[in-house]
Structure 1
Amino acid sequence: MVRHGKRGSALLSVTVASALALSLTACAGSDSGSGDGRSLTYWSMWKENEPQARVLREAAQAFEREHGVRVVIQWQGRDVLKKVAPALRGGDLPDLVDQDQALVRSTLVAADAHRDLTGLYAADVAGRKVSDVVSARYSDLVRRDGKPYLVPYEVIGYGLWFDGAALPEVAASPPGTWSEFTALLSARKAAGAAPLALDGDIGQYNALWTVGALQGALGKDKVNELARDRSGEAWRRPEVRAVLDDVAGLARSGFFAAGHNGGKWPAAQEKWAQGQADFLLMGSWAPSETGAKARAGFQYRFAALPSAGRQRYVPVESIGFAIPRRAKNAEAAERFVAYFLRDEHLGRISSVARNLTPNPALPVPDELAGLAEATRSLPLARVQDGVAEDFPGYVEEVLWPANDQLLRGQTDVDGFLGQIGEKQVNYWKKNR
């Protein structure tokens, strides 16, 4: 894939993550710290031919030249955390891993098998501290009990993507409220356009609409609270139902481009890039993933999802470094992480890998300029309100199946509420 493989990462079985967490709990112990510090083993989520891998590999080579510490990188791919489990049961354990925050939290952190990185955030980065380089807007989202478990080096943001050349009036003044948004969709449909692109066979993509609308109307962390309710009855509150009806109205009004129910990813997003739909609700990999298919003159523009309440949010998640609690060369791993955060290395996540970094002082790719501005000016929220991070297996077992039918117009709000209530009760019976 062109992107950083977010589909492969976020759609990694959360059920598997839950099982992994149980296996880690059985093996977690105290820090060993028995390595010699002359080398460290780094298991990465990237494949060797990806641009992020190039940036990391060249930084590791520079680190060895400057500090005499070798970084032995194994390009494990998106299943890197699944491969950590047998190492924790016995055998060689990596000193450093990277993945997105949701999977790190639902595996290493859930099992208390991670290193507290508080000390690393105070480490030197060319005269600054790690906490000066990584914006608190991101580091605050990767803590448990106030202690950081991840050091971000790449930031993924979610929202509406569109072609500024085709929709200059939207680029000049994006809709801010849900009513403004649906009025725009109605006008575009009346003009013969397909307003919304959706690869409806992916539960995560469908959930972006519903959870995003709920966050905007109710506030961040409120969907997380709904998921915590063991009775499932919280979903039936009038203010929740009103948002669900707004979301169901997208399908009811025919705003999704034809074929979204029966198509296969990535058909819809490719058609969007070719001008056959107006808006795509997606993560910040959208430009790099669709760029090769985009029509000539396509200008990638970003807008936060409009809100039915008082506030718009930008859902974000980070990809970053974590250190297993029993890593033998944890100190060397921390030194490398701090070294990588120097401008000359971290900046290449933007210039080479074409993604945002957690350092707002660094340049951003032109196609992500709107997203970067939104992350500076609007409040941030966890993707899917942190439900996948906090409740392993919940999105796959409860949220996505019920929501898929709502977004496809295959059930109404009452049907959704019945399904999610039943599934949620069963989920919590299994996860007491």
Structure 2
Amino acid sequence: MKKKFLQRIGVAVISGAMVVSALAGCGNKADTGKATSTGKSASMAASKAASTSQTGSDAKKFDGVKLVYWSNWEATEPQGMVIAEAIEAYEKETGVDIEVEFKGRKGIKEGLIPALDANQQVDFFDGAGNKSNYGDRIISLEDLVKEHNYEPRTNPTMISLFRGYNGGVLKEIPYQFKSNAYLYNKKLFKQAGIEKAPANWDEFLAACQKLKDAGITPLTTDDAYVPQAFGMHLGRLAGSDGLKKIVNENGWDRPEVLQTANDLADLAAKGYFSELVASNVFPTGQNTEYATGKVAMYCVGTYMVNEVKNITGPDFEWGFFAYPEVKNGVNGTEAMVIGGQSFAITSMCKNQEAAFGFIEKMTRGEYDEKLAKESISLPADVENHSWPEQLADVKPYFDNCKEIMGGAESNPDITPALKENLIKLYSGKLTGAEFVENMKKAAGK
């Protein structure tokens, strides 16, 4: 079955014409993407040129070793296809036998921990970052990282972020990075006479007005991403720790919340938001407004570029800028919302070196570059200078990032009320003060 599966999907060459599937974002959305539809595993492995019982000078490093790998991608997604090609190459180089099961986001979320607890063989896996809930089911990678001199070629802020997920111990290898801020349409900016991306709030307001004067709608959002701009604006004012306290400890009466609400209400009052913002249900905002060139800016993650590439086409002029600095803020564009997918090795893995070797192959050189190209994402290897053209503007901000900002959705109990009231704020149905009062009531204050 494995050989037939591999031959059928044809992994010998990855091209720009491969099947497109939505790249998962983060948080709740990652669990509801198209790739979650596969409930059963799809195993594949390359045909072996020789028996794994080779000996002598012809023996390969991991002859006789079999690994089981669970992936949160589907086999037909760009990520899954690159992974399949990398497995084939790694097997030929080392003699290892990797059985990959493309579980999809839902399969990993719902099935992996029960499988590990039942002692089912799963040697390593990938998925959305922050695997702190796996506890001792996954191992520390510190020794392997040191032995392979792996860390110098990964963004230090990302390594710090992923160590932070597990009490300062690196248990995950990050890959396929993403950044959240404003994606914008450079063609529309040019039409409005805007020569550079805004760096601060005054410049942002000026850009919005120029767009409006040119007959272009500056901003849109939808029910999935409505907290993005709010969280970043509040994070600029209160800092990342302050943002977490406000959201998780019901600090809605803090002055930074009112300033954020007033600033965003001002955007609505000036007519900068799309008239459809009150009714946009994901993916309406990104697919029918932003991707079709009807709206200039959308606050979201870089993964959206891959999600809409069949709509925008090759001539769409992508731009990116970090969330602007705001008045009375405690941080600037060095603080960003960034993250990524990650690999982890399970405690049951009997050949951790072989598993780490494949992880290194996927996150360094050829396959890191190929993954970034085919899924239009940010590469993990700092020595990889071939960033996708659509995300070229992200690189200087990403390289300069020194502080990780969290988002506004860390408290699931309050998120529904937050989304509901932000939609009302953005559509001009609430003032900043009314927003604050509504959030205080929702939090029981």
Taking structure 2 as the reference length, the TM-score comes to 0.78
Listed as ranges, the matches of 1:154-169 within 5 Å are 154-168=176-190
SS in 1 for 2:378: coil
**Amino acid paired to 1:96:** F
1:241 offset after TM fit, Å? 1.7
SS in 1 for 2:181: strand
1:319 offset after TM fit, Å? 0.7
Please tell me whether residue 134 in structure 1 is matched to residue 151 in structure 2. Answer: no
**Amino acid paired to 2:142:** T
Runs ≥4 residues deviating over 6 A? none
| Change beyond 3 A, Cα 1:228–1:268 | closer
Please tell me whether residue 278 in structure 1 is matched to residue 300 in structure 2. Answer: no
**Amino acid paired to 1:4:** L
2:234–2:256 contact (8 Å) kept in structure 1: no
**Amino acid paired to 1:183:** A
**Amino acid paired to 2:304:** A
Listed as ranges, the matches of 1:140-151 within 5 Å are 140-143=160-163, 144-151=166-173
**Amino acid paired to 2:182:** L
| Change beyond 3 A, Cα 1:228–1:295 | closer
**Amino acid paired to 2:24:** G
Listed as ranges, the matches of 1:332-411 within 5 Å are 332-362=354-384, 363-384=386-407, 388=410, 393-394=412-413, 396=415, 399-411=418-430
| Offset from partner CA, 1:259-301 (integer Å, 9 cap, x none) | 1211332222232222211111121123222232227842111
1:212 offset after TM fit, Å? 0.9
1:188–1:194 contact (8 Å) kept in structure 2: yes
Please tell me whether residue 300 in structure 1 is matched to residue 318 in structure 2. Answer: yes
- Greater relative CO (CA pairs within 8 A, separation 6+): 1
Higher helix residue share = 1
1:257–1:277 contact (8 Å) kept in structure 2: yes
Equivalence for 2:238:
218
Across the aligned residues of Structure 1 and Structure 2, the Cα RMSD in angstroms comes to 2.8
Q: What is the CA–CA distance in structure 1 between the aligned matches of 2:64 and 2:138, rounded to whole Å?
A: 19
Q: Which residue of 307, 325, 332 corresponds with 1:311?
A: 332
1:165 offset after TM fit, Å? 2.6
Equivalence for 2:432:
413
SS in 2 for 1:384: coil
Q: What is the CA–CA distance in structure 1 between the aligned matches of 2:23 and 2:242, rounded to whole Å?
A: 29
Q: What is the CA–CA distance in structure 2 between the aligned matches of 1:216 and 1:179, rounded to whole Å?
A: 15
SS in 2 for 1:349: helix
Equivalence for 2:223:
201
Equivalence for 1:21:
none
Q: Which residue of 191, 211, 216 corresponds with 1:188?
A: 211
SS in 2 for 1:72: strand
Q: What is the CA–CA distance in structure 2 between the aligned matches of 1:244 and 1:37, rounded to whole Å?
A: 61
Q: What is the CA–CA distance in structure 2 between the aligned matches of 1:11 and 1:248, rounded to whole Å?
A: 29
SS in 1 for 2:396: helix
| Offset from partner CA, 1:130-154 (integer Å, 9 cap, x none) | 1022221211111132111210121
| Change beyond 3 A, Cα 1:381–1:7 | closer
1:404 offset after TM fit, Å? 4.2
1:77 offset after TM fit, Å? 0.6
Q: What is the CA–CA distance in structure 2 between the aligned matches of 1:10 and 1:119, rounded to whole Å?
A: 34
SS in 1 for 2:175: strand
**Amino acid paired to 1:377:** N
| Larger Rg computed on CA atoms | 2
Equivalence for 1:241:
258
SS in 2 for 1:6: coil
Q: Which residue of 66, 76, 85 corresponds with 1:58?
A: 85
Q: What is the CA–CA distance in structure 2 between the aligned matches of 1:374 and 1:161, rounded to whole Å?
A: 13
Q: What is the CA–CA distance in structure 2 between the aligned matches of 1:92 and 1:303, rounded to whole Å?
A: 45
| Offset from partner CA, 1:90-124 (integer Å, 9 cap, x none) | 2514221211214x34x32xx55432221232142
Percent of aligned positions that are identical? 23
Q: Which residue of 188, 198, 204 corresponds with 1:175?
A: 198
Q: What is the CA–CA distance in structure 1 between the aligned matches of 2:116 and 2:193, rounded to whole Å?
A: 51
Q: What is the CA–CA distance in structure 2 between the aligned matches of 1:398 and 1:59, rounded to whole Å?
A: 44
| Change beyond 3 A, Cα 1:228–1:166 | closer
1:167 offset after TM fit, Å? 1.6
- Unmatched segments (≥5 aa) in structure 2: 1-19, 33-62
Q: What is the CA–CA distance in structure 2 between the aligned matches of 1:395 and 1:142, rounded to whole Å?
A: 26
Q: What is the CA–CA distance in structure 1 between the aligned matches of 2:292 and 2:406, rounded to whole Å?
A: 27
Q: Which residue of 146, 157, 163 corresponds with 1:122?
A: 146
Q: What is the CA–CA distance in structure 1 between the aligned matches of 2:216 and 2:127, rounded to whole Å?
A: 38
- Unmatched segments (≥5 aa) in structure 1: 14-35, 427-432
With 75-84 and 268-277 compared, the bigger mean Cα shift is at: 268-277
| Change beyond 3 A, Cα 1:8–1:244 | closer
Q: What is the CA–CA distance in structure 2 between the aligned matches of 1:219 and 1:130, rounded to whole Å?
A: 31
1:46–1:77 contact (8 Å) kept in structure 2: yes
1:227–1:424 contact (8 Å) kept in structure 2: no
SS in 1 for 2:338: strand
